Amino acid sequence: LAWYRTLLAVRNTYASVARGSYEHAQVDGAVLSWQRHLGNEVTVTAIHYGSQAQPLTLHHLAAGQSLRAVLPADAAAVPVGAQGEATVMMAPRSVRVWVMQRP
């Protein structure tokens, strides 16, 4: 029950999660990721279905910005490189959500 409440809180806090357009969906091994855009808000979601940790390179991001962790909220921010990419390590069977943040 707590997990569903957490997911609902993310959806209610970030309008792009609930109503944004889907952009830049990608599949990398056992990881599915996508961006949702609404106005100036951009969120990135990744779901890892695999049983082994896997690196994930996210593309089509705003260069020079960072991804602030929303889920789990205590994860470190991820810098976006000059080429608009960021690499994260996905734990097995995990879900991550970030919001794009200007420096």
Q: What is the pLDDT of residues 54-100, one digit of tens each?
A: 999 999 999 999 999 999 988 899 999 999 999 999 999 999 999 99
Q: Are 77 and 86 in contact (CB under 8 A)?
A: no
Query: Residue 15 pLDDT > 70, yes or no?
Result: yes
Task: For domain 2-101, give the CATH number.
Answer: 2.60.40.1180
DSSP 3-state of 56: strand
* 103 band by pLDDT with thresholds 50, 70 and 90: low
Q: Is 43:60 a contact under the CB 8 Å cutoff? A: no
Q: Domain residue spans in the chain? A: 2-101
Angle at 86 between CA 90 and CA 76, to 5 degrees: 60
